[in-house]
Chain A
Amino acid sequence: MTTTAVDTTEVRLLLEGIHERYGFDFRDYAEASIRRRILRRVQAEGLATISALQERVLHDTECMERLLLSLTVHVTAMYRDPLFFKVFRDKVVPLLRTYPFIRIWHAGCSTGEEVYSTAIVLEEEGVYDRCRIYATDLSESVLRAAKAGIFTLHHMKEYSENYLQAGGTRSLSHYYTASYERAIFRENLRRNVVFAQHNLVTDSSFNEFNVILCRNVMIYFNRTLQNRVHGLLYQSLGRLGVLGLGRKESMRFTPHEESYEELDGPEKIYRKVI
């Protein structure tokens, strides 16, 4: 028997344990990346094995909170993949103009960088006042950060370049105030954003949307869970609704492959046709 088999078993037991004890369901997260995050927590807790972490987590709720933060991935950026936002502006916004009222769901919005990115595009295209953006994440603490709209200043140079590549018509600095090491985004930008807690794994559909953006969220799920979440997104999209995924995510091999047409192949923007 190899050591591999041992910690595969340990990972499964840990995830079963926290599901049973605390109700958090990570059982269908992508195996390789969640194992990395668990092992990082094992190390940070000064423990030797995943089993030792399991023991601590089951008896110590504070340890569970630390583990919860480690297990969820909250890395994001403004205008990550600038071309996505360029295509959104050029191909999706014209479709939205035909609607009197536009509902957009940012599923797994993390600390909100992409929500602000989208809001700026909609504002510059003159449709923002007809939009409501529902920005959701499973973690309350990242939602608080998203709501605050305060990001580290040293990222702004990169974000500004991304913004311009994404077809931005002003300068990104138009939208924030720099203060010490922070960029504070204008409150006005979130006038039509509703931040809310929602767990893609356990919660159901809560509205019907014209656009759903769910980029680089499902890559942390295994195939089974991806398929389930695809079902949830499909259910939540209105007819001819638009779905935006991450650059390296694909509709291929999902049960809903036939339900969409490509609006833009490389940027993974789809439109629900059935």
Chain B
Amino acid sequence: MRPAVVVVGTSLGGLHALREILGGLPAGFSIPVVIAQHRVKSGGGDLAGLLQAVCPLRVWEPEDKEPLSPGMVYLAPPDYHLLVEPGSLALSTEAPVNHARPSLDVLFESAADAYGEGVIGVVLTGSNEDGARGARRIQQRGGTVIIQDPSAAVSGIMPAAAQARTGIIRTYSLGQIARLLVELCPGSDPLSPVRGRVG
């Protein structure tokens, strides 16, 4: 099955890591990318702008129920959880998970439920264990999990926790991750959820 969505999660050190990866994606990258980056409630600077500066795709903080489109990078707005639904994105102001809102687990688990094996989950540098459960869910539902090399990360706690939870041994550098994403997501693929509502 071809990938339907790429979900990326990170906290401490994330700006640099995200710039490396987004900067390595081609303008024709056809799978929507959805990012949860731990950040302060007030937004703390123009993260979308800093990512847009290096990324050929459009970087955007989505509104509730916005359709998922190829060629887009969706960034979780500060102080909201971002969830993937079949064909669209949803926001939530529910309590923080792992002290975080947005939480990686919330994003990853919802993506796994919506798209199953069509999900590629990427766990990058970070200083807590958010994302490990979500990575496990992606794995259980047949999706692909890619983990940054903890020893090369600004903070290795987040990728190491994801490794421990998923049992995945192989890890990658940031440059390798960008290339891997391009390899895994060739050509253009219309969004089709693994399941749809009947009727």
User: Which residues of A are at the interface with B, using a C-beta cutoff of 8 A?
Assistant: 2-5, 7-8, 30-33, 35-37, 73, 75-76, 80, 216, 218-220, 222-223, 226, 246-250, 252-253
Contacts and interface: CB of A to CB of B under 8 A. Distances in A.
Contacts of B141: 2-4
B110 A36 contact: yes
A32 B113 contact: yes
Given A35-B113, A249-B63, A249-B64, A4 B94 contact: no
B106 A248 contact: no
B22 to A, nearest CB: 22
B142 A220 contact: no
Contacts of B114: 4, 32
Contact of A247 (B77, B110, B113, B117): B77
Contacts, number: 86
Interface in B31-72: 61-65
A30 B63 contact: no
Interface string B63-91: 11100000000000101110111100011
A30 B90 contact: yes
B94 A73 contact: yes
B95 A75 contact: yes
A4 B195 contact: yes
Given A32-B114, A35-B113, A248 B77 contact: yes
A36 B85 contact: no
Contacts of A246: 64, 93
B85 A32 contact: yes
A4 B116 contact: yes
B149 interface: no
A31 B85 contact: yes
B92 A4 contact: no
B64 A32 contact: no
A7 B112 CA distance: 12
